Chain A
Amino acid sequence: MSAESISEVMRDPVRPAAASLSEEKRTITVAVAGNPNSGKSTLINAIAGTRLHVGNWPGVTVEKKEALFEYEVKLIKLVDLPGTYSLSPYTQEEIITRDYLVHEMPDVIIDVMDATNLERNLYLTVQLLELDIPVIMALNMYDEAEKKGYTIDSNMMEEMLGVKIVPTIATRKAGLHDLLKAVVKLVDDPSSHHPKKLNYGEDIESAVSAVEKQLKDSYPSLAEKYPLRWLAFKFMEEDEHVQSELKISGDVLLIEDAVRHLKKAHEEDMESIMADARYAQAAGLTREVLKRPELRKTDLTEKIDRIALNRFLGIPLFLAAMWFMFKLTFDVSKPLGDWMNALTFGPFKRWAEALVGLIHAPAWMSSLVTDGVIAGVGSVLVFVPVIFAMMFFITFLEGSGYMARAAFVMDRAMHSIGLHGKSFIPMLLGFGCNVPAIYATRTLENQRDKALTALLIPLMSCGARLPVYVVFIGAFFPAYAGTVLWSLYVMGIALAIVMGLIFKRTLFKGEAPMFIMELPPYRLPSFKSLMIHTWEKGKHFLIKAGTYILAVSILVWFLLNLPWGVESKKDSYLGQVGQVVAPVLKPLGFGSWEAASSLMAGVIAKEIVVGTMGEIYVKKTGEEQSAVKPAFTADLIEIGTSFTTALRNSAENVFSTFGISSLSTKEDEKRSGLKSVLRTTFTPLSAYAFIVFVLLYMPCVVVAIAMRQEFGTWKWFGISFAYQMALAWLMAFVIYQGGTLLGIGG
Chain B
Amino acid sequence: MGFSDIVWMGLIIAGTLYLLYRSVWKKKGHCAGCDSQSCVLKKYKM
| A362 CB contacts on chain B under 8 angstroms | 5, 8
In Å, the complex CA distance between A18 and B25 comes to 33
| A65-73, A245-253, A349-357: which lies at the interface | A65-73
In Å, the complex CA distance between A583 and B11 comes to 35
Q: Do residues A19 and B45 form an inter-chain contact, with CB atoms below 8 A?
A: yes
With A362-B5, A548-B20, A558-B13: A439-B43 Cβ-Cβ less than 8 Å: no
Q: Do residues B42 and A439 form an inter-chain contact, with CB atoms below 8 A?
A: no
**A428 at the B interface (CB under 8 A):** no
- Nearest to A555 among chain B residues (CB) is B16
- Nearest to A565 among chain B residues (CB) is B1
For window 11-28 of chain B, which residues contact chain A by CB distance below 8 Å?
Answer: 12-13, 16-17, 19-20, 22-25, 27-28
Bitwise interface map of A from 596 to 634 toward B, beta carbon under 8 Å scored 1, else 0: 000000001100000000000000000000000000000
Select which of B9, B32, B38, B43 is within 8 A of A67 by beta carbon: B43
With A16-B44, A19-B45, A51-B42: A548-B28 Cβ-Cβ less than 8 Å: no
**A53 at the B interface (CB under 8 A):** yes
| A701 CB contacts on chain B under 8 angstroms | 24, 29
In Å, the complex CA distance between A537 and B45 comes to 23
What number of A residues sit within 8 Å (CB to CB) of B?
50
**A63 at the B interface (CB under 8 A):** yes
Q: How close is B26's CB to chain A, nearest CB, in angstroms? A: 10
| A543 CB contacts on chain B under 8 angstroms | 30
| A604 CB contacts on chain B under 8 angstroms | 20, 24
For window 365-405 of chain A, which residues contact chain B by CB distance below 8 Å?
Answer: 365, 368
| A18 CB contacts on chain B under 8 angstroms | 46
Q: How close is A484's CB to chain B, nearest CB, in angstroms? A: 25
**A554 at the B interface (CB under 8 A):** yes
| B5 CB contacts on chain A under 8 angstroms | 362, 364
With A702-B28, A705-B28: A439-B36 Cβ-Cβ less than 8 Å: yes
With A548-B24, A554-B12, A702-B24: A17-B32 Cβ-Cβ less than 8 Å: no
Q: Do residues A63 and B29 form an inter-chain contact, with CB atoms below 8 A?
A: no
| B35 CB contacts on chain A under 8 angstroms | 53, 61-63, 436, 439-440
- Nearest to A604 among chain B residues (CB) is B24
Select which of A65, A432, A536, A544 is within 8 A of B29 by beta carbon: A544
In Å, the complex CA distance between A48 and B44 comes to 8
**A709 at the B interface (CB under 8 A):** yes
Q: How close is B41's CB to chain A, nearest CB, in angstroms? A: 5
- Nearest to B1 among chain A residues (CB) is A564
Bitwise interface map of A from 44 to 63 toward B, beta carbon under 8 Å scored 1, else 0: 00001111110000000111
Q: Do residues A19 and B46 form an inter-chain contact, with CB atoms below 8 A?
A: yes
Q: Do residues B29 and A435 form an inter-chain contact, with CB atoms below 8 A?
A: yes
Q: Do residues A547 and B30 form an inter-chain contact, with CB atoms below 8 A?
A: yes
Interface hub of B5, B24, B37, B38 (most chain A Cβ within 10 A): B24
| A709 CB contacts on chain B under 8 angstroms | 28, 36-38
In Å, the complex CA distance between A436 and B32 comes to 7
Q: Do residues A433 and B42 form an inter-chain contact, with CB atoms below 8 A?
A: no
Q: Do residues A67 and B44 form an inter-chain contact, with CB atoms below 8 A?
A: yes
Q: Do residues B20 and A63 form an inter-chain contact, with CB atoms below 8 A?
A: no
- Nearest to A547 among chain B residues (CB) is B23
In Å, the complex CA distance between A555 and B13 comes to 7
| B46 CB contacts on chain A under 8 angstroms | 16-19
Select which of A364, A432, A554, A700 is within 8 A of B33 by beta carbon: A432
Select which of A49, A65, A551 is within 8 A of B23 by beta carbon: A551
Select which of A368, A435, A550 is within 8 A of B32 by beta carbon: A435
In Å, the complex CA distance between A51 and B43 comes to 11
Q: How close is B15's CB to chain A, nearest CB, in angstroms? A: 9
Q: Do residues B36 and A433 form an inter-chain contact, with CB atoms below 8 A?
A: no
With A555-B13, A564-B1, A604-B24: A436-B44 Cβ-Cβ less than 8 Å: no
In Å, the complex CA distance between A579 and B12 comes to 27
Q: Do residues A554 and B29 form an inter-chain contact, with CB atoms below 8 A?
A: no
Select which of A62, A69, A365, A558 is within 8 A of B44 by beta carbon: A69
| A306 CB contacts on chain B under 8 angstroms | none
Q: Do residues B19 and A547 form an inter-chain contact, with CB atoms below 8 A?
A: yes
| A50 CB contacts on chain B under 8 angstroms | 42, 44
**A706 at the B interface (CB under 8 A):** yes
In Å, the complex CA distance between A659 and B8 comes to 56
Q: Do residues B41 and A53 form an inter-chain contact, with CB atoms below 8 A?
A: no
With A551-B20, A554-B12: A705-B44 Cβ-Cβ less than 8 Å: no
**A165 at the B interface (CB under 8 A):** no
In Å, the complex CA distance between A706 and B25 comes to 10
**A586 at the B interface (CB under 8 A):** no
Q: Do residues B1 and A705 form an inter-chain contact, with CB atoms below 8 A?
A: no
Select which of B16, B17, B32, B45 is within 8 A of A540 by beta carbon: B32
**A145 at the B interface (CB under 8 A):** no
- Nearest to A432 among chain B residues (CB) is B32
- Nearest to A435 among chain B residues (CB) is B31
Q: Do residues B44 and A68 form an inter-chain contact, with CB atoms below 8 A?
A: yes
Bitwise interface map of A from 698 to 726 toward B, beta carbon under 8 Å scored 1, else 0: 00111001100100000000000000000
- Nearest to B27 among chain A residues (CB) is A547
| A555 CB contacts on chain B under 8 angstroms | 13, 16-17, 20
- Nearest to A20 among chain B residues (CB) is B46
| A705 CB contacts on chain B under 8 angstroms | 24-25, 28-29
For window 430-451 of chain A, which residues contact chain B by CB distance below 8 Å?
Answer: 432-433, 435-436, 439-440
- Nearest to B39 among chain A residues (CB) is A65
| A646 CB contacts on chain B under 8 angstroms | none
| B44 CB contacts on chain A under 8 angstroms | 16-17, 48-50, 67-69
A-B contact pairs, 20 of them (CB 8 A): A19-B46, A63-B35, A63-B37, A66-B41, A66-B42, A439-B36, A440-B35, A536-B32, A536-B33, A536-B34, A540-B31, A544-B23, A548-B23, A554-B12, A554-B13, A555-B16, A558-B9, A705-B25, A706-B31, A709-B38
Given A66-B41, A68-B43, A554-B16, 17 new contacts (CB under 8 A): A16-B44, A16-B46, A50-B44, A63-B36, A65-B41, A362-B8, A364-B1, A368-B12, A435-B36, A440-B35, A536-B32, A548-B20, A555-B20, A701-B29, A706-B28, A706-B31, A709-B37
Among all A-B residue pairs, the 4 with the closest Cβ atoms:
A702-B29, A547-B23, A540-B32, A16-B44
